[in-house]
Chains A and B, each alone.
Chain A
Amino acid sequence: MVRGMTTNGGSQPVFCTIVPPHVLDRLARAEDPALSGPARRSLEHDAYQRTKRRLTTVIGAAAVAPPAGAAADQPHRTVYDAEHTQDLPGTKVREEGDDAGQDASVNRAYAGLGATFELYLKAYGRHSIDDNGLPLDATVHFGEGYDNAFWNGEQMVFGDGDDEIFLDFTIPVDVIGHELTHGVTQHTANLAYFGQSGALNESVSDVFGSLIKQYTLGQTAAEADWLIGAGLLAPRVTGTALRSMKAPGTAYDDDVLGKDPQPAKMEDYVRTGRDNGGVHINSGIPNHAFYLAATALGGYAWEKAGQIWYDVLTGGGLTEDALFTDFATLTVKAARERYGAGDELQAVKKAWEQVGVRTL
């Protein structure tokens, strides 16, 4: 069968009407700019994306140097607007030091990048995502009604949500912190995004995402809501957030969304091939262990429990394919190394015991 042609119920051939590349080539050379302009842009865009993809595959993510003279203890933020396309990064709309504008998504993204930078620097002495002053870039208004936010290896991407289930993904600061923490993990333990190591990768993002929210609000472990994505669900959805570290499995229960599937204990670990082996499901178990350790210790969760988790993430002992028990064992070791044989060690040990994860 000729490519670009299909059969209609096995009889009449139908010619595809989508403009194939060779036609774009011809149009791009047309003298009428109304014809050549859009065609050229499409070709350039495709070629650019393909080349960039190939380069990223071959050389890995680019190490972007901070601009000369940038203060090491200050973030270097740039927010772009995709204007509802999926072209990255989009139009630059706010740079470091610019005043807030009219667009709430831009302002929230800018503030969230700052809050994340701030927690990592003030609490752990980390200079940005790579600990080397990586500029923080974010694109808002990605796609149309796009129900997601992600770190693409180089920058943040935020959708507006469809307003039916999700609102704007820049609303919860913990979502911004969660995504940027995927960048931190990428530059440190690089936990493989599948199965238990993938659930640990997700959990680490929830832990520091929540800590960024708590730090921003000045909340103690007892005061925090321990929710991920509070304020993200549209009013018609029956639920308070997407995940609860305090009570995994209780964040939502809705006709359309279904029920929050997160387990809190190892005995309820969900074996599935979906969602990279349930990375967003089984993260409930290490999430709850962190919550238990942090609330047992009291005070600000980023100070002790957060420090122990950070030590494990960045200490070099965590392998890419780590299991829950490996991670748990390392937190016990980190607690002992940093705080000796005291309350911290006991709180961490007990937390893992309560969720049914063995520490060695």
Chain B
Amino acid sequence: MRIRVRRTGGFAGIERRAEVDTAGRPDADELRCLAERVLASGRATPAAGVPDGFQYEITVDGSTVHTADPRLTEEQRELISRVLKEGA
């Protein structure tokens, strides 16, 4: 499973993106579960955020959901932070 996060907006307006391939990772099951929950709870169109708030696009094996600060669910927050931190 490929999990991709694209973060746009923010005070700086600088885009960041990262991708994690769960294949071969020790935490693959955990990430897959997290990604599945995020897909199930996300919205298909860009979410209205707040000025300077980050907006996120999460793509899991071709399916994309959107979310935005400051209204992330715990699961979205966890997945986004792990992919941006550990992804390439």
Taking Cβ atoms with an 8 Å cutoff, the residues of A that contact B are 3-4, 6, 8, 14-18, 42, 46, 53, 86, 88, 144, 147-153, 157, 166, 169, 175, 178-179, 182, 185-186, 193, 201-202, 205, 229, 242, 257-258, 274-276, 279-281
Task: Give every chain A residue within 8 A of B40 (Cβ-Cβ).
Answer: 3
**Contact present for A148 and B75 (CB under 8 Å):** no
Task: Give every chain B residue within 8 A of A205 (Cβ-Cβ).
Answer: 51
Closest chain A residue, CB of each to CB of B85: A145
Known: A86-B77, A151-B50, A182-B52. A6 touches B72 (CB 8 A): no
- Can you report 9 residue pairs joining A to B where beta carbons are below 8 Å apart? A18-B33, A86-B77, A150-B50, A150-B52, A150-B70, A152-B50, A179-B11, A280-B12, A280-B13
Known: A148-B69, A150-B51, A205-B51. A178 touches B11 (CB 8 A): yes
Task: Give every chain B residue within 8 A of A186 (Cβ-Cβ).
Answer: 51
Closest chain A residue, CB of each to CB of B35: A6
Q: Name the residue among B14, B32, B33, B77 with the largest chain A CB count within 10 angstroms.
A: B14
Does B53 sit at the interface, judged by CB under 8 A? yes
Task: Give every chain A residue within 8 A of B72 (Cβ-Cβ).
Answer: 86
Does B2 sit at the interface, judged by CB under 8 A? no
Taking Cβ atoms with an 8 Å cutoff, the residues of B that contact A are 8-15, 29-30, 32-34, 36-37, 40, 50-55, 69-72, 74-75, 77, 81
Nearest CB of A to B63, in Å: 13
**Contact present for B54 and A8 (CB under 8 Å):** no
Task: Give every chain A residue within 8 A of B75 (Cβ-Cβ).
Answer: 18
Task: Give every chain A residue within 8 A of B81 (Cβ-Cβ).
Answer: 144
CA distance A274 to B32 in the complex (A): 28
**Contact present for A193 and B74 (CB under 8 Å):** no
Task: Give every chain B residue within 8 A of A144 (Cβ-Cβ).
Answer: 81
Task: Give every chain B residue within 8 A of A86 (Cβ-Cβ).
Answer: 70, 72, 77
Contact partner of B32 among A14, A182, A279, A281, CB < 8 A? Answer: A14
Closest chain A residue, CB of each to CB of B51: A182
CA distance A15 to B9 in the complex (A): 35
Task: Give every chain A residue within 8 A of B53 (Cβ-Cβ).
Answer: 148, 150, 152
CA distance A178 to B69 in the complex (A): 18
**Contact present for B77 and A150 (CB under 8 Å):** no
Nearest CB of B to A118, in Å: 22
Task: Give every chain A residue within 8 A of B32 (Cβ-Cβ).
Answer: 6, 8, 14
**Contact present for A88 and B70 (CB under 8 Å):** yes
Contact partner of B11 among A3, A15, A53, A148, CB < 8 A? Answer: A148
Known: A6-B32, A150-B69, A152-B50. A46 touches B12 (CB 8 A): no
CA distance A8 to B23 in the complex (A): 10
CA distance A166 to B33 in the complex (A): 32
**Contact present for A229 and B50 (CB under 8 Å):** no
Contact partner of B51 among A16, A17, A193, CB < 8 A? Answer: A193
**Contact present for A242 and B52 (CB under 8 Å):** no
**Contact present for B36 and A16 (CB under 8 Å):** yes
**Contact present for B8 and A8 (CB under 8 Å):** no
Task: Give every chain A residue within 8 A of B52 (Cβ-Cβ).
Answer: 148-151, 178-179, 182
**Contact present for B15 and A242 (CB under 8 Å):** no
Closest chain A residue, CB of each to CB of B81: A144
